[in-house]
Amino acid sequence: MKTTNFKWLAITLALFVFITDCKDDKKEVSKFIGDFVISNAKLAEALIVPTVEAPGNLTLPVNTNITQLIQTALLSAVNCSSPDKSYVELREDNSLYLSCEGLTPLNAGTWEEVSATTLILNMNSTAIPPIGFVLSVTNIVEDASGLTGIASVPLPKEMIGALIAPLHLSPSAPAVFMLKISIQFMKK
């Protein structure tokens, strides 16, 4: 009789542990999940560009607005009629998509929340041909309209050439310029 009571006690205890262990654990949702438009990009460090026309180098100062250049560089894989209609989707499953209103999103890679102030975008070769690249956004500050942070972006000399037109790049210009920028992602 005592053995039967112990069996029932053991079963009851096991059920209690199982039921309380199966409580719904709420997963914290990242502030980075959502759809974002690149709304503003400015140089966070001066950019020195060797030109044919300038006796030395052309210096583009801090806070030079390069929004259109960055939108083109990061969203060029999406054929969109206007940059303000293109956006970046950071999905809950950590996938990253580039989108244009009314079109099928392009799988552009993955994203990772390193901390509350650091985000890594692993952009694949479909998004950034030929090999893709990793974009790290640091010092992120969130406000009601979106996110602002600092990033280093590699840009080919052809894009820099378009930025400084009508001046021409010197033959000594590097194939890729590394720009340190302040970038703002506005929530869509």
Residue 55 lies in a domain: yes
Q: Give 171's contacts (C-beta < 8 A, 6+ positions apart).
A: none
Residue 90 lies in a domain: yes
Residue 28 lies in a domain: no
Query: For residue 176, what are the domain limits?
Result: 33-187
Choice among 50-54, 80-84, 144-148 with the minimum mean pLDDT: 80-84
Residue 25 lies in a domain: no
pLDDT at 13: 46
Residue 24 lies in a domain: no
Residue 74 lies in a domain: yes
Total domain count, the chain: 1
Q: CA-CA distance, 122 to 176, in Å (whole number)?
A: 19
Residue 11 lies in a domain: no
Q: Which of 95, 124, 101, 104 is nearest to 32 (CA)?
A: 95
The answer on pLDDT for 37 being more than 80 is yes
118 SS3 class: strand
Report the share of the chain in percent with pLDDT over 90: 56
Q: Which residues on adjacent β-strands are paired with residue 38?
A: 185
How much is the average pLDDT of 113-142?
A: 93
pLDDT at 10: 47
Span 1-34, pLDDT tens digits: 555 554 544 454 444 545 555 555 556 789 999 9
Q: In 10 A of CB 103, how many CB atoms?
A: 14
60 SS3 class: strand
Query: Residue 94 — pLDDT band, cuts 50, 70, 90?
Result: very high
For the chain, what is the mean pLDDT? 86
Alpha helix (H) residue ranges in 29-95: 67-75
Residue 83 lies in a domain: yes
Residue in this structure with the two tokens 């250049």, named with its chain if needed: 69
